[in-house]
Amino acid sequence: MKNIICELNKFIFNFIYDLLAILFLTLIIGCAAHTNLTPVGKGNVEASISLGGPFIPVAETKIPTPYLVAGANYGMTENINLDGTLHITSLFYQIAGFDFGATWFPVLNEGMIPTWGIQQRFLMLSSFKSDVESRFRIYPLISNSASWEWGSGLIYTGLDFIIPLTNPDYDEEAENVIFSPFVGYRWDLGKKLRLLTELKWHGANIQGDQLAVEYITIGGYGAVSLMLTLEKRF
């Protein structure tokens, strides 16, 4: 058991290393299921906690990275949500991560027409380590989602687009835009509690051999992730 814990810690450390690489910072932004799928409603609040991330090799198997985040959504208007997310796991590795943004819903689900969400977010990263040159970074992200009522819950899909503001020194030909498709289902567990299960292909246009950890890829690109999120409405 001790060896497994040490091995897991090593891979989480390398995962955090990948987070700091501009080439794959999309990992840290996407390590939570998408909760902004429908309008919260003016004045309403929803809180969430999420665990998961890219599959990593541990003890001759592969499990989702135990990356923990907590966030909240607030209904500014009937069709605009404000949101913020704190990255908890990264704090144990002397990196503070916080992202915030807003989601606009111009179209609501009716029959085959989905609820369409357009989200703009910004990720802020700050390192507490003494041996790093760059202590603060901020990155913009645009996310699109489409969701339909299905069964007792909600089925959804979408794309995340992240735009690195600078290219890494070690790769002058790095991608100018990184995209990550996702698909998931939101289960209603009563009137105020929900469970979200989501699969995501992080960095679908990034070659997997450029990363510190051997993730599960698709055709040698990106990293396949699983995220679980509990959401409570207040």
The reported pLDDT for the residue numbered 214 is: 74
Assigned token pair, 193 = 């509690």
Domain residue limits, the chain: 2-233
pTM for the model stands at 0.82
The reported pLDDT for the residue numbered 211 is: 61
Does residue 225 surpass a pLDDT of 50? yes
Mean pLDDT value of segment 85-94: 84
Judge contact between 141 and 99, C-beta under 8 A: yes
**Pairwise pLDDT comparison (139 vs 20), residue with the higher score:** 139
**CATH 2.60.40 for the 2-233 domain, yes or no:** no
